[in-house]
Structure 1
């Protein structure tokens, strides 16, 4: 199985992009891209991979092995739950919002 770096280099070269061009297009520094391609950066951040995938017109999943796919799935689930929570939270009265904030503060105190 190709590692992320080999795959990234292959995708970049297939698009006829230099490191500098991919950096400009993705917003990821050329040294970071180089580190990923050469294997110096073995576990790049998910936001870095998303930016690179977008710049290369591909899906981020192409970079993810099974372990990373599970982490990415958890992140996506978390984002979805946050969206649901905040869409419901926004519809509450100010009094209800204050009560929820106080409940969260109580839970924070219990974990500290």
Structure 2
């Protein structure tokens, strides 16, 4: 993603939305959206990017990478902790996370 602002603008237009409609649904101000799309804001706040990504249904990780919030080392950290995690379904990953939460909760209660 070479130009994340333009990418966000293209997504918005493909969805047939004006900046006011996006503001209404996300809480990200219409002038802020314009500045992000035009590249005036070089590093938009992460919560605003998250709101836009969730609303547009796009990959937040890729958006964070495009704006420099994450890099491959950050992403690979998860894979380095648990080998072959990429082969698990979302349900299996969720179940394992629940077990980890349970184990850590018991540990903090001791």
Stretches of structure 1 lacking an aligned partner (at least 5 in a row): 78-82, 97-112
Alignment coverage as a number of residue pairs: 90
- Whose helix proportion is higher, 1 or 2? 1
Larger-gyration structure (1/2):
1
Stretches of structure 2 lacking an aligned partner (at least 5 in a row): 79-96
TM-score (structure 2 length as normaliser): 0.61
Q: How does 1:65-104 map to 2 (within 5 A)?
A: 65=66, 67-70=68-71, 73=74, 87-88=102-103, 90-92=105-107, 96=110
Partner of 1:7: 7
Does the Cα contact within 8 Å between 2:5 and 2:36 map onto a contact in 1?
yes
Q: 1:6 to 1:62 in 2, by over 3 A?
A: same
Q: 1:85 to 1:41 in 2, by over 3 A?
A: farther
- Distance in 2 of aligned mates of 1:2 and 1:51: 21
